Amino acid sequence: EFRILKLHPGKFNDPLEASFQRGSLGNTAAYSALSYVWGDTFLKEIIFVSGSTQKIDLALTLNLATILRKIRLEHSSRLIWVDALCINQNDVSERSHQVSMMADIYKNADEVLIWLG
């Protein structure tokens, strides 16, 4: 299993909002996998992520926020796998397991997007 970001609809300048859902290899809704250059890690933007009981704010690099704005749909949600958000970077065990699945996550995506900034 792995997390997939459900990027909520909006216009380019609207705040970024999303939620997470679970996926499994070969048995999940169509999703895009995003590979990107981090860019300047000091420049941050916030994405609001809805959970089952609360909404949390996650900091993104400006480069990641920019590509999420560019690929976000205006009237419907979009499923995206992006390592920085879909892998809990603070959980070493989870991160190790998810990193070992990355080739298959990319292989099973409907499309792989590459963003250099």
For 69-109, what is the HEC assignment? HHHCCCCCCEEEECHHHHCCCCCHHHHHHHHHHHHHHHHHC
Contacts by residues 101-107 (CB-CB < 8 Å, ≥ 24 positions apart): 101/2, 101/25, 104/25, 105/2, 105/25, 105/33, 105/81, 106/33, 106/35
- What pLDDT is recorded for position 54? 63
pLDDT at 79: 97
Q: What is the average per-residue pLDDT within 93-108?
A: 90
Of 12, 11, 10, 31, whose CA–CA distance to 20 is shortest? 31
Count of structural domains, the chain: 1
Mean pLDDT of the chain, nearest integer: 89
**In the predicted model, is pLDDT for residue 41 greater than 80?**
no
pTM here is 0.86
C-alpha span between 79 and 32 (Å, rounded): 6
The pLDDT value recorded for residue 17 is 94
**Is the separation of the CB atoms in 61 and 67 below 8 Å?**
no
Residue 25, pLDDT > 80, answer: yes
Expressed as residue numbers, the domain containing 61 is 2-115
In the chain, pLDDT over 90 holds for what percent of residues? 54
Quick one: average pLDDT of 37-65?
Answer: 80
